[in-house]
Amino acid sequence: MESKFKPNLDSKYSYYVLSVLLIVYIFNFLDRQIIAILANDIREDLGISLSDLGFLYGTAFAIFYSIVGIPLAKLADSWHRNYLISAGVGMWSLMTAASGLMRSFIGLAICRIGVGIGESSASPAAYSLLSDYFSTKVKTTVYSIYSSGIYIGGGIGIFLGGWIADSWNNIYPISEQAPFQFAGWQIAFISVGLPGLLIALLVLTIKEPERGHSEGIKIEKVDKPFSEALKILYGILPFSALISLLYKKEKTSEILYQVYATFAVILMIIIMSYLTGDSLQWGAFGLGLFTLISWIQTMKLSDPIAFSLSFKSKTIILCMIGFPLISFMGYAVSAFLPAYFIETFEVTKTIAGRNLGLQSAVFGFFGLLTGGLISDYLRRKFLNGRLYVGIFAVVTSPVSIILTLQAETLLIFYTFHIIWSYVSTLWVGLCVATVTDLVLPRMRAMISAFWILMASIVGLALGPYSIGKLADYFLSIDFSTANSISYSIQIWCLVFIISLISLVLATRFLPSEEKTKIERAVALGEQV
């Protein structure tokens, strides 16, 4: 039954809700990031490669996070959001704890998939809840506070993971003599996972508000929310998407498009699996790619005006190339830098987690905050103001990470790592803000979701794996682990060139496309 609770906007209880959701988001990234600090131990114990680690950190998580996130976002718009978040927290916490029980690559991969599925429920529902508890005048600030969980959780994750693993290994230097023969990295997963079950219960203290309350908009109740969400999932998965088109008796051209897309993705999986030997990576990536293709087709058929306004915009297309490539490197560095740091400077996981975690949390947060403030200021001066900040981030990020990796002393390393943590997050809020201004209000949730999907598939599913795969090659020719990671990251910094070209080109098209969006929408048949 739909809630009739109408909270007082911007009240003390509203900020209680924000606090609980911030804790949820902190645990979201804590559980997500912990694997980075444990990478060396996991690799040694399970006998896996650096590319396997990239798969565990990125692909296994990202693909299912993205796919399941699409129907769960729909469910968040029609069902009890507090229940959905609570269930998600419970699932990803259990799967994080279960990761500590795994003694094989496949077992750990399954758990990471479970973490991704659980975490996909959080943000869509959280943003929706916050929009009904806060007024428009403070909403941007509220969203920024919520988003700070990314850096707080990520920083705490690598600190706690390192400290717990080191403490356990110091007590039980021989894992065979430890209780249940647990290694330090296993205890770290269990220790950070189980408390999340209490957070799941805490979420249930949030009252479900009347949907649309803050804006005074009456939202029509959806009678079968789960059925609607399942329909979306059914329409984007391989083969079921084709069956759905046949059932709806869509045009032959659309059916053929689906058939061609299916064969193209299968061919890509076969070729890349043959070339790399990593069939699991490319099977998962192919699933994500197919979902992306099917979702675009679904948008074309269900809302042709939104499709044309979005995917015939040169600026949006260029932003969807340029910004995900920044996240490609961001995720890759997050995955492998702790392992590089530990080996290069011969420090403990505790020290690495504390120092890198603190720097990433503090300066990542300030980068996010100041990037938003500067972008908003420049946007008032120039239509391309936000893109200028993005271009600055693209230029300075590779320089700072390369200098970080070439540092010969801790002081120099910390200096450039701080710069990297700051400049590499300046752009985070820019892409969504830029592309949502190029479409009509009713289309903004859709284009935001598309950005999340692109960032996950291109950035998280490909970034860590690609760096790991190249590092494996360097290891095979007798490079050290640290040098292998360092050279791989520096070589892959070449993707920043593509990102830079894309964003510079976007500045040519954005002013005219933003000024004419309503005119183009009307020409397409939109009632404005």
Query: pLDDT tens digit string along 410-445?
Result: 999 999 999 999 999 888 878 878 888 888 867 776
Residue 218 pLDDT class (50, 70, 90 cuts):
low
Cβ atoms within 10 A of the Cβ of 221, count? Answer: 10
355 pLDDT exceeds 60? yes
Structure tokens at 185: 């990295």
Q: Where do we find the tokens 């002013």?
A: 511
Architecture of domain 313-528: Up-down Bundle (1.20)
Q: How far apart are CA 232 and CA 275, in angstroms?
A: 34
Which pLDDT belongs to residue 370? 86
Domain 7-205 has CATH 1.20.1250.20: yes
Which pLDDT belongs to residue 446? 73
Residue 33 pLDDT class (50, 70, 90 cuts):
confident
Exposed / middle / buried, residue 232 (Cβ in 10 Å: 0-12, 13-18, 19+)? middle
Q: Where do we find the tokens 């599913």?
A: 461
Q: Where do we find the tokens 């020290």?
A: 351
More confident of the two residues 229 and 463: 463
Lowest mean pLDDT segment, chosen from 174-178, 197-201, 222-226, 433-437: 222-226
Closest CA to 453 of 301, 295, 299: 295
Name the residue ranges covered by the structural domains of the chain: 7-205, 237-303, 313-528
Does 7-205 match 313-528 in CATH topology? yes
225 pLDDT exceeds 60? yes
Which pLDDT belongs to residue 296? 87
Cβ atoms within 10 A of the Cβ of 210, count? Answer: 15
Residue 324 pLDDT class (50, 70, 90 cuts):
very high
What would the pLDDT profile of 297-316 be if each residue is shown by its tens digit? 888 888 888 889 888 899 99
Q: How far apart are CA 350 and CA 355, in angstroms?
A: 9
Residues above pLDDT 70, as percent of the chain:
95
Residue 234 pLDDT class (50, 70, 90 cuts):
confident
Query: Model-level pTM?
Result: 0.87
118 pLDDT exceeds 80? yes
Q: How far apart are CA 467 and CA 54, in angstroms?
A: 8
Residue 267 pLDDT class (50, 70, 90 cuts):
very high
Closest CA to 454 of 316, 302, 256, 252: 316
498 pLDDT exceeds 70? yes
449 pLDDT exceeds 80? no
User: What average pLDDT does the segment 134-157 reach?
Assistant: 79
Which pLDDT belongs to residue 2? 58
Q: How far apart are CA 144 and CA 228, in angstroms?
A: 31
Which pLDDT belongs to residue 78? 77
Which pLDDT belongs to residue 216? 57
Residue 227 pLDDT class (50, 70, 90 cuts):
confident
Cβ atoms within 10 A of the Cβ of 305, count? Answer: 19
How does the average pLDDT of the chain come out, rounded? 88
User: What average pLDDT does the segment 258-287 reach?
Assistant: 94
